[in-house]
């Protein structure tokens, strides 16, 4: 594999499984020193070991992204051990599909926002000075198509719309530090977060023009693009990686149901 991240140090949150694990693995294959972080310590250590077993360089560090103190400890540790940080991927997140605006508990609302939105805020705020002092680099935030369209889970959708705002504001503010900030917005992805939601997965696949979900590796490839110099002139941007759901999903259904059928009254 091309060593697009050779000599770079990267921190990936939520890296014990799913998209984060795939991103960390791909970054290591591309030559980066990777720090995996999560609260699932056993799984995170196993992922880091798997990378090392494959010839990559990886460490695992416990990180609750909602904790200001834990962010400080992790970034200070990276500065001490590596002397630099070039890439931050704010991937950690949790779902809450069942909560409408009228029945979401405040406790659930606060917990979800603390992880999905406050977490990336703390990550950017804490890591950006070290990235600056390392010569600049890239921050990639994980959003969702729930932040690009109307969505039925109020708290989750709010957190992902917030990701778009913090991405664009941070990109504006950090451009003078030679730090690019972008966001990737996946649609249906086959990860442990959705594997038990059979009906949800099928319904979303049925509405996706490519008629399937993505693998974690497909998302990781886009994150790698945003993290490496191939995207060196892109900042403040949202990239939907959703099989066409956001941009053509509605009219694709019209095409499939009416326009492409014979003898339709159109």
We report the CATH number of the domain holding residue 24 as 3.40.50.720
Asked if residue 266 belongs to a domain, the reply is no
Q: Can you give the pLDDT at residue 262?
A: 72
Residue 192: per-residue pLDDT: 73
Q: Integer distance in angstroms from the first to the last C-alpha of the chain?
A: 50
Instruction: Provide mean pLDDT across the span 159-169.
Output: 98
Provide the pLDDT for residue 265.
63
Q: Is residue 72 part of a domain?
A: yes
pLDDT score of 260: 65
Q: Which residues of 98-123 are buried (b: 16+ CB within 10 A; e: fewer)?
A: ebeeeebeeeebeebbbbbbbbbbbb
The mean pLDDT of the chain is 93
**Span 2-19, pLDDT tens digits:** 999 999 999 999 999 999
Of 93-107, 112-126, 130-144, 168-182, the range with the lowest mean pLDDT is 93-107
Is residue 13 within 8 Å of residue 90, measured between CB atoms?
Answer: yes
Q: Is residue 231 part of a domain?
A: yes
Q: Can you give the pLDDT at residue 245?
A: 92
Question: For residue 245, is it within any domain?
Answer: yes
Number of Cβ atoms within 10 Å of the Cβ of 132: 16
CB 146 within 8 A of CB 156: yes
Q: Does residue 24 lie in a domain region? A: yes
Q: Percent of the chain having pLDDT more than 70?
A: 95
**Residue 12, beta-bridge partner list:** 36, 89
Residue 59 lies in a domain: yes
- Does 156 participate in catalysis according to the annotation? yes
Dist CA 107 CA 90 (whole Å): 23
Compute the average pLDDT of residues 86-92.
Answer: 98
pLDDT in tens, 18-63: 999 999 999 999 999 999 999 999 999 999 999 999 999 999 999 9
Alpha carbon of 87 to those of 182, 203, 264: distances in Å? 12, 35, 53
Residues 125 and 118: their CA atoms lie apart, in Å, by 10
Burial annotation 231-254 (CB, 10 A radius, 16+ → b, else e) = beeebbebbbbbbebbeebeebee
Rounded to an integer, the average pLDDT of 222-243 is 98
- Of all residues in the chain, the percent with pLDDT exceeding 90 is 79
Residue 107 forms part of a structural domain: yes
Each residue's pLDDT tens digit, 126-151: 999 999 999 999 999 999 999 999 88
- The total domain count for the chain is 1
Structure tokens at 19: 């998209």
Q: How confident is the model at residue 88 (pLDDT cuts 50, 70, 90)?
A: very high
Classify residue 2: in a domain, yes or no. Answer: no
Q: What does the block give as tokens for 147?
A: 């932040």
Nearest to 186 by CA among 230, 238, 122, 114: 238
* Catalytic, out of 60, 156, 233, 251: 156
Domain residue limits at 210: 9-259
């Amino acid at each position: 594999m091309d060593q697009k991240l050779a000599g770079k140090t990267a921190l990936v949150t939520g890296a014990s499984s799913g998209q984060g694990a795939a991103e960390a693995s791909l970054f290591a294959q591309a030559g980066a020193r990777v720090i995996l972080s999560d609260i699932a310590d056993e799984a995170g250590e196993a992922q880091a070991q798997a990378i090392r077993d494959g010839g990559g360089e990886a460490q695992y560090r416990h990180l609750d992204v909602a904790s200001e103190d834990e962010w400080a400890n992790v970034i200070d540790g990276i500065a001490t051990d590596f002397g630099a940080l070039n890439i931050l991927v704010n991937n950690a997140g949790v779902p809450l599909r069942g909560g409408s605006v009228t029945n979401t508990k405040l406790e659930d609302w606060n917990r979800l926002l603390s992880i999905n939105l406050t977490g990336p805020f703390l990550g950017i705020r804490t890591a950006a000075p070290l990235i600056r002092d390392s010569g600049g680099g890239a921050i990639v935030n994980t959003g969702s198509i729930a932040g690009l369209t109307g969505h039925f889970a109020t708290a989750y959708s709010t957190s992902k719309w917030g990701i778009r705002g913090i991405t664009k504001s941070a990109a504006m503010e950090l451009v003078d530090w030679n730090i690019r900030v972008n966001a990737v917005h996946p649609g249906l992805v086959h990860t442990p977060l959705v594997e038990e939601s059979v009906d949800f997965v099928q319904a979303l696949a049925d509405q996706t023009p490519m008629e399937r979900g993505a693998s974690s590796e497909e998302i990781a490839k886009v994150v790698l693009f945003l993290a490496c110099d191939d995207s060196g002139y892109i900042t403040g941007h949202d990239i939907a990686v959703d099989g066409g759901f956001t941009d053509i999903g509605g009219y694709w259904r019209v095409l499939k149901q009416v326009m492409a059928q014979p003898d339709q009254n159109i």
